[in-house]
Amino acid sequence: MTVRGRIDKRAAILAAAAEVFTREGYGQAGVDVIAAEAGVAKPTVYNHFGDKETLFREAIAAEADRVLAEHLAVVDQLRDGDDLRAALENVAHHMLVCHCEERSVALRRLLNAELGRFPDLIDIVRGRAADRVTDALADRLARLALAGRLRRLDPTQAAEQFLALLTGPIEARSRLGTRRVADDELWAVARAAVDTFLRAFAA
Amino acid sequence: MTVRGRIDKRAAILAAAAEVFTREGYGQAGVDVIAAEAGVAKPTVYNHFGDKETLFREAIAAEADRVLAEHLAVVDQLRDGDDLRAALENVAHHMLVCHCEERSVALRRLLNAELGRFPDLIDIVRGRAADRVTDALADRLARLALAGRLRRLDPTQAAEQFLALLTGPIEARSRLGTRRVADDELWAVARAAVDTFLRAFAA
Amino acid sequence: MTVRGRIDKRAAILAAAAEVFTREGYGQAGVDVIAAEAGVAKPTVYNHFGDKETLFREAIAAEADRVLAEHLAVVDQLRDGDDLRAALENVAHHMLVCHCEERSVALRRLLNAELGRFPDLIDIVRGRAADRVTDALADRLARLALAGRLRRLDPTQAAEQFLALLTGPIEARSRLGTRRVADDELWAVARAAVDTFLRAFAA
Amino acid sequence: MTVRGRIDKRAAILAAAAEVFTREGYGQAGVDVIAAEAGVAKPTVYNHFGDKETLFREAIAAEADRVLAEHLAVVDQLRDGDDLRAALENVAHHMLVCHCEERSVALRRLLNAELGRFPDLIDIVRGRAADRVTDALADRLARLALAGRLRRLDPTQAAEQFLALLTGPIEARSRLGTRRVADDELWAVARAAVDTFLRAFAA
DNA sequence: CATGAATGAGCATTCATTCAT
DNA sequence: TATGAATGAATGCTCATTCAT
């Protein structure tokens, strides 16, 4: 098999693993199912990843990378401008959209689910997702404060709270991700969050 | 065996089930382990609950009842008084303590984990926990607004945000419940949440 | 409970046992099912019969008694008369009807099925059914021979062959009891059997 | 493992299955026992046959093939010759020997036993055994009739009766296969059957 | 390296049987 | 005696993992 073929197989296995693990959970996911969905034989999975646990970790890491990239791209859009509220609302809404994406929901679910068995997943994911987003957002908020658009604040804490005001209500309303939330409800949550945030943090 | 004995066994099984399911997840939990931990024979579990799935649902429901009761008791402490900030901070801190309790963390984890397989868990738990707490808190906030201590607000939205300001940051800091959070950090989060909340909602 | 009640329960259990054992076979039949079908609690079955095996034997014996009675009644109808062929045909047809009755088929099936596990069933049933019928028929044939209606014959052997000529073809045509055989086919088999029998044994 | 090895395992499993199923019946037979007797692991059985039921059907079919082959070979020996009675007696005796063979008895027993649960067994077995033997014998009898050695007859009916005259008495005397029948008793039954048959059907 | 086949260990569930009442 | 409840011992079937090719 060509090198390219080998790489393809590895990627196919990872994709299938992400799919199956998020759909069924670690325990319930069968390696045969993953292999079948990837179009390879079961031992090929073992040749590439050694055992189910390793496959699981790598699949999680890959998913976390993807989710992180999306979120960072959103935070990156937050630029100072004439209308700070509008800018924040746009970012807030966009983050909610990402947050509610199926793969995003599934990853958070899976992570939560298996943290008991694999506590180190936190380290795999933290450096790749949650904290990095908070940090990036904190950076932006710091610059906005420096620019006099926000009052003096603890950037990390403010970023934490901004994100909390977004994701907290949406978790409730999406029934922990089991229900689709309509776009106007996303906008409503985003606006409410930004309103509260600005009341508390506007310069 | 006395009727009391039967009830005891049922309760013992439910307790063991909660323990084992939260420790291992639905798929990985073994009915034999639950039976052993409850001090009964495996078929006794089946006599009482019919199958693993039913046992799971009932164990979840029982845990949700317990967690709800704790949280409602905390919200119930929120009374108007001279020092609104102090009152809110006390309630906030107390809620965080509940939120970080091992059984609370475990229940949320398990719920998240198995929502894919058992979407109806949401209905079992919602009526018993999450929404009820938000509602109770919304009631209190409405009365505070009526009493002129808070500005006019949408009580449910404000309650959602108050809770989000508490639980969002704590999820991050506890690494999704994998790390104990020291009490002074709980106080810090509580104070920061109340500070932001009052900046946004004080009359 | 009255003595009568006790007897009723015993009978109800036996009836239910016959029903369930013939429907499911010994191994597959559940004592709980029998108890439920009899309207008693499982331990009541054990109080009356000790264990599943004993219950099985007694149920078989009761069924065998019933089947024997039916068959003997038929053989008993065989009287000498003007038209020997017609008399034999009537008895032959009647025996086939009995042979094809559901309970008769079920009993033979069950007996065959469990002879491996319970070889002594043969003794329970033989004295009650198969041999007794052959003997009774042999008696009649002997009298017919004495009366000069049949040639000299070995009565037992002739009876065996008469029965074989009836049941053999019918087993094949009923596909071992899985297919209902129409009445005119029963008559055809009966006539063919009697024809062959008379060709071989008429005086 | 070589392809040959795979085939060997499959055959070993089938052989063990036939052995165990006939010994214990479908319900009582344990797949682990079959696997052990075949010298393979339990999942190998499932890899080859999917489930217990399929294994059962295939084992039955294989046994039926074997039994059919034996019986056909016997019928095939029936050639016209100087001494028709002797020819018929030889075939009759030979058929009885086959009929009383342990595997033959066991297959009939098992078939009867499980027809309630698996009515389609009839179709599996009929085309492979019972009817084919009757047909083959009917063919021979037709030729003997054509050759003027037997009177005009309905070949199928005559074949049915010939077989019935053999197997009916032998079932009774072997106590449904629970008792070995001595060879001279087999000869006696064979001769008696042929005698009756020739009295009824000789030209 | 990829695969078809094999396996040891495990798991949900059932059942005949027995206590305690 | 009749019963609700409990249990030890199976049993069919699955799964992660490993060879032999």
pLDDT above 80 (res A119):
yes
> How many Å from the CA of D5 to C1' of E4?
12
Average pLDDT over residues C119-145: 90
Q: Which DSSP string corresponds to B21-57?
A: HHHHHHHH--HHHHHHHHTS-HHHHHHHHSSHHHHHH
Closest CA to A196 of A166, A167, A155: A166
Residue where the block lists tokens 């229940």: B107
Residues D161 and D188 in one domain: yes
3-state secondary structure of B150: strand
* CB-CB under 8 Å, D176 with C115: yes
The two three-digit tokens of residue C195, written as one number: 């024809």
Residue D80's H or E segment, with its range, is none
The two three-digit tokens of residue B130, written as one number: 């999450």
pLDDT above 80 (res D34):
yes
Residues B93 and B189 in one domain: yes
Residues C45 and C59 in one domain: no
Residues 127-156 of chain B whose Cβ lies under 8 A from any Cβ of chain A: 130-131, 134
- Among positive and negative, which fits the CA dihedral C34, C37, C43, C49? negative
Supply the angle between the helices A155-173 and B183-201 in degrees, to the nearest 10. 80
Contacts of C163 in chain D (CB under 8 A): 168
Average pLDDT over residues A104-129: 88
Residues B42 and B137 in one domain: no
pLDDT in tens, D119-172: 899 988 887 777 899 999 999 999 999 999 999 999 999 999 999 999 999 999
Residues D121 and D164 in one domain: yes
Q: DSSP secondary-structure letter at C203?
A: -
Neighbouring residues of A157: CB distance < 8 A, sequence distance ≥ 6: B169, B192
Per-residue pLDDT of chain B (203 residues; tens, 9 = 90+): 455 566 788 999 999 999 999 999 998 899 999 999 999 999 999 999 999 999 999 999 999 999 999 999 999 998 878 899 999 999 999 999 999 999 999 999 999 888 988 989 998 888 777 789 999 999 999 999 999 999 999 999 999 999 999 999 999 999 988 899 999 999 999 999 999 999 999 98
Compare B153 and A79 and report the one with higher pLDDT: B153
Q: Which DSSP string corresponds to A159-180?
A: HHHHHHHHHHHHHHHTTTTTS-
Question: Residue D142: what pLDDT?
Answer: 96
Count of domains forming chain C: 2
Residues B12 and B94 in one domain: no
Residues C93 and C124 in one domain: yes
Band of residue D3 on the pLDDT scale cut at 50, 70, 90: low
Question: Residue C5: what pLDDT?
Answer: 61
Among all residues of chain C, which has the CA nearest to that of D22? C116
Asked if D202 contacts D150 with a C-beta cutoff of 8 angstroms, the reply is yes
Contacts of D177 in chain C (CB under 8 A): 115
3-state secondary structure of A14: helix
pLDDT above 90 (res C2):
no
Residues B56 and B23 in one domain: no
Residue A148's H or E segment, with its range, is none
Question: Residue B1: what pLDDT?
Answer: 43
Q: What is the C-alpha separation between B103 and B115, in angstroms, rounded?
A: 18
| Strand F atom within 7 Å of A51 CB | yes
Q: Which of B15, B33, B50 finishes a domain?
A: B50
Backbone torsion region of residue A39, taken as left when φ is above 0, otherwise alpha when ψ lies between -120 and 50, otherwise beta? left
Question: Residue A4: what pLDDT?
Answer: 58
Residues D68 and D123 in one domain: yes
Chains A and B touch (3+ CB pairs under 8 A): yes
Band of residue C129 on the pLDDT scale cut at 50, 70, 90: confident
Question: Residue C80: what pLDDT?
Answer: 79
* CB-CB under 8 Å, B167 with A168: yes
Residues A137 and A37 in one domain: no
Band of residue A5 on the pLDDT scale cut at 50, 70, 90: low
Question: Residue A143: what pLDDT?
Answer: 95
The domain in which residue B26 lies consists of 1-50
Residues A159 and A137 in one domain: yes
Residues A6 and A87 in one domain: no
Q: What is the C-alpha separation between A143 and A158, in angstroms, rounded?
A: 13
CATH number, residue C15? 1.10.10.60
Burial of B132 (0-12, 13-18, 19+ CB in 10 A): middle
3-state secondary structure of B202: strand
Question: Residue D1: what pLDDT?
Answer: 44
pLDDT in tens, A54-67: 999 999 999 999 99
Closest CA to D160 of C170, C191, C182, C174: C170
pLDDT above 60 (res C75):
yes
CATH number, residue C58? 1.10.357.10
Question: Residue B127: what pLDDT?
Answer: 78
Residue where the block lists tokens 């989060």: B189
- From the list D25, D160, D196, the residue facing C113 with the nearest CB is D25
> How many Å from the CA of D66 to C1' of F20?
33
Name the protein residue, with chain letter, whose CA is nearest the C1' of F15. A30
pLDDT in tens, B122-170: 988 887 777 899 999 999 999 999 999 999 999 999 999 999 999 999 9
Q: What is the C-alpha separation between A20 and A35, in angstroms, rounded?
A: 10
Question: Residue D21: what pLDDT?
Answer: 94
pLDDT in tens, D158-190: 999 999 999 999 999 999 888 999 999 999 999
